[in-house]
Amino acid sequence: MTDTPHIALIEARFYEDISDQLAAGALAVIEAAGGTVHRISVPGILEIPAALQFAIEGNGNPESGRMFDGGVALGCAIKGETDHYEYVCGESMRGTQDVALAHAFPVGNGILTCPTRALAEERADVDRKNFGGKAAEACLRLINIKTELGVEP
Protein backbone atom coordinates (compact mmCIF):
# COMPACT_ATOMS: atom_id res chain seq x y z
CA MET A 1 0.00 0.00 0.00
CA THR A 2 1.15 3.52 -0.58
CA ASP A 3 2.25 5.42 2.50
CA THR A 4 -0.91 7.49 2.38
CA PRO A 5 -3.75 5.68 0.64
CA HIS A 6 -6.17 7.91 -1.23
CA ILE A 7 -9.72 6.56 -1.07
CA ALA A 8 -12.88 7.35 -3.05
CA LEU A 9 -15.64 7.26 -0.42
CA ILE A 10 -18.97 6.80 -2.21
CA GLU A 11 -21.97 7.49 0.01
CA ALA A 12 -25.59 6.80 -0.84
CA ARG A 13 -27.56 9.45 1.02
CA PHE A 14 -31.11 8.00 0.92
CA TYR A 15 -31.07 7.28 4.69
CA GLU A 16 -28.94 10.23 5.77
CA ASP A 17 -28.66 9.34 9.47
CA ILE A 18 -27.46 5.83 8.64
CA SER A 19 -25.11 7.15 5.94
CA ASP A 20 -23.62 9.61 8.42
CA GLN A 21 -22.80 6.77 10.84
CA LEU A 22 -21.33 4.59 8.08
CA ALA A 23 -19.18 7.50 6.87
CA ALA A 24 -18.01 8.34 10.39
CA GLY A 25 -16.79 4.77 10.89
CA ALA A 26 -15.06 4.65 7.50
CA LEU A 27 -13.41 8.06 7.91
CA ALA A 28 -12.03 7.16 11.35
CA VAL A 29 -10.38 4.00 10.00
CA ILE A 30 -8.95 5.70 6.91
CA GLU A 31 -7.64 8.66 8.88
CA ALA A 32 -6.10 6.32 11.50
CA ALA A 33 -4.26 4.60 8.63
CA GLY A 34 -2.93 7.97 7.46
CA GLY A 35 -5.14 7.97 4.38
CA THR A 36 -6.98 10.72 2.58
CA VAL A 37 -10.54 10.69 1.28
CA HIS A 38 -12.51 12.24 -1.53
CA ARG A 39 -16.23 11.97 -0.69
CA ILE A 40 -18.70 11.36 -3.50
CA SER A 41 -22.41 11.56 -2.70
CA VAL A 42 -25.10 9.69 -4.66
CA PRO A 43 -28.87 9.54 -4.05
CA GLY A 44 -29.18 5.81 -3.33
CA ILE A 45 -27.33 2.50 -3.40
CA LEU A 46 -28.33 1.80 -7.00
CA GLU A 47 -26.10 4.70 -8.13
CA ILE A 48 -23.00 3.44 -6.28
CA PRO A 49 -21.62 1.22 -9.09
CA ALA A 50 -21.78 4.04 -11.66
CA ALA A 51 -20.08 6.50 -9.28
CA LEU A 52 -17.41 3.89 -8.56
CA GLN A 53 -16.88 3.40 -12.29
CA PHE A 54 -16.54 7.17 -12.78
CA ALA A 55 -14.01 7.39 -9.93
CA ILE A 56 -11.92 4.63 -11.49
CA GLU A 57 -12.11 6.01 -15.02
CA GLY A 58 -11.24 9.51 -13.85
CA ASN A 59 -8.98 7.87 -11.26
CA GLY A 60 -8.28 10.92 -9.26
CA ASN A 61 -9.46 13.69 -7.10
CA PRO A 62 -10.44 16.62 -9.30
CA GLU A 63 -8.95 18.99 -6.72
CA SER A 64 -5.55 17.34 -6.31
CA GLY A 65 -5.21 15.10 -9.34
CA ARG A 66 -4.07 12.30 -7.02
CA MET A 67 -5.04 8.80 -8.11
CA PHE A 68 -7.36 6.68 -5.98
CA ASP A 69 -5.83 3.60 -4.40
CA GLY A 70 -9.23 2.13 -3.57
CA GLY A 71 -12.86 2.83 -2.83
CA VAL A 72 -15.39 2.39 -0.05
CA ALA A 73 -19.06 1.96 -0.95
CA LEU A 74 -21.53 3.03 1.76
CA GLY A 75 -25.29 3.08 1.85
CA CYS A 76 -28.39 1.31 2.98
CA ALA A 77 -31.58 -0.31 1.73
CA ILE A 78 -34.36 -1.22 4.16
CA LYS A 79 -36.99 -3.71 3.07
CA GLY A 80 -40.35 -2.23 2.27
CA GLU A 81 -43.64 -3.70 1.09
CA THR A 82 -42.67 -4.29 -2.55
CA ASP A 83 -40.05 -6.34 -4.35
CA HIS A 84 -38.19 -3.15 -5.36
CA TYR A 85 -35.86 -3.80 -2.41
CA GLU A 86 -34.71 -7.12 -3.88
CA TYR A 87 -33.77 -5.55 -7.22
CA VAL A 88 -32.01 -2.54 -5.73
CA CYS A 89 -29.99 -4.68 -3.31
CA GLY A 90 -29.00 -7.26 -5.89
CA GLU A 91 -28.06 -4.77 -8.58
CA SER A 92 -26.08 -2.47 -6.30
CA MET A 93 -24.10 -5.39 -4.87
CA ARG A 94 -23.55 -7.03 -8.25
CA GLY A 95 -22.63 -3.76 -9.91
CA THR A 96 -20.18 -2.77 -7.19
CA GLN A 97 -18.44 -6.14 -7.34
CA ASP A 98 -18.43 -6.21 -11.15
CA VAL A 99 -16.77 -2.79 -11.35
CA ALA A 100 -14.17 -3.69 -8.70
CA LEU A 101 -13.26 -6.97 -10.41
CA ALA A 102 -13.21 -5.54 -13.93
CA HIS A 103 -10.65 -2.94 -12.88
CA ALA A 104 -8.74 -4.86 -10.17
CA PHE A 105 -9.75 -1.96 -7.92
CA PRO A 106 -9.84 -2.52 -4.14
CA VAL A 107 -13.33 -1.82 -2.80
CA GLY A 108 -14.67 -2.21 0.71
CA ASN A 109 -18.39 -2.84 0.52
CA GLY A 110 -20.36 -1.18 3.30
CA ILE A 111 -23.75 -1.36 1.61
CA LEU A 112 -26.30 -2.47 4.18
CA THR A 113 -29.31 -4.48 3.01
CA CYS A 114 -31.52 -4.87 6.05
CA PRO A 115 -35.04 -6.12 6.73
CA THR A 116 -35.59 -3.44 9.41
CA ARG A 117 -34.44 0.06 10.27
CA ALA A 118 -33.34 -1.12 13.73
CA LEU A 119 -30.95 -3.63 12.19
CA ALA A 120 -29.58 -1.01 9.79
CA GLU A 121 -29.02 1.43 12.65
CA GLU A 122 -27.21 -1.23 14.70
CA ARG A 123 -24.93 -2.18 11.79
CA ALA A 124 -24.12 1.44 10.94
CA ASP A 125 -23.53 2.69 14.49
CA VAL A 126 -19.82 3.27 15.13
CA ASP A 127 -20.27 2.13 18.74
CA ARG A 128 -21.96 -1.14 17.82
CA LYS A 129 -21.33 -3.06 14.56
CA ASN A 130 -19.50 -0.23 12.70
CA PHE A 131 -19.90 -1.64 9.20
CA GLY A 132 -18.54 1.60 7.71
CA GLY A 133 -15.30 1.07 9.59
CA LYS A 134 -15.23 -2.59 8.54
CA ALA A 135 -15.69 -1.61 4.88
CA ALA A 136 -12.76 0.81 5.14
CA GLU A 137 -10.63 -1.90 6.78
CA ALA A 138 -11.50 -4.27 3.91
CA CYS A 139 -10.51 -1.64 1.34
CA LEU A 140 -7.18 -0.98 3.04
CA ARG A 141 -6.46 -4.70 3.29
CA LEU A 142 -7.23 -5.20 -0.41
CA ILE A 143 -4.88 -2.33 -1.27
CA ASN A 144 -2.18 -4.13 0.73
CA ILE A 145 -2.85 -7.43 -1.02
CA LYS A 146 -2.73 -5.76 -4.43
CA THR A 147 0.63 -4.22 -3.52
CA GLU A 148 1.99 -7.48 -2.04
CA LEU A 149 1.10 -9.37 -5.22
CA GLY A 150 2.52 -6.71 -7.52
CA VAL A 151 -0.73 -5.90 -9.30
CA GLU A 152 -0.30 -2.70 -11.29
CA PRO A 153 -2.75 0.16 -10.75
Tell me which residue of 140, 139, 25 sits closest to 76, measured CA to CA: 25
Query: Do residues 41 and 14 make contact, with C-beta atoms less than 8 angstroms apart?
Result: no
The span from the CA of 13 to the CA of 59, in Å, is 22
36-42 and 70-78 strand pairing: unpaired
Query: Can you tell me whether residue 115 is helix, strand or coil?
Result: coil
Query: Do residues 111 and 74 make contact, with C-beta atoms less than 8 angstroms apart?
Result: yes
Catalytic residue among 6, 38, 84, 103: 84
Non-local CB neighbours of 28 within 8 Å, separated by 6+ positions: 126, 133
CA torsion sign for 139, 144, 147, 149 is negative
84 included as an active-site residue: yes
Which amino acids are annotated catalytic? 84
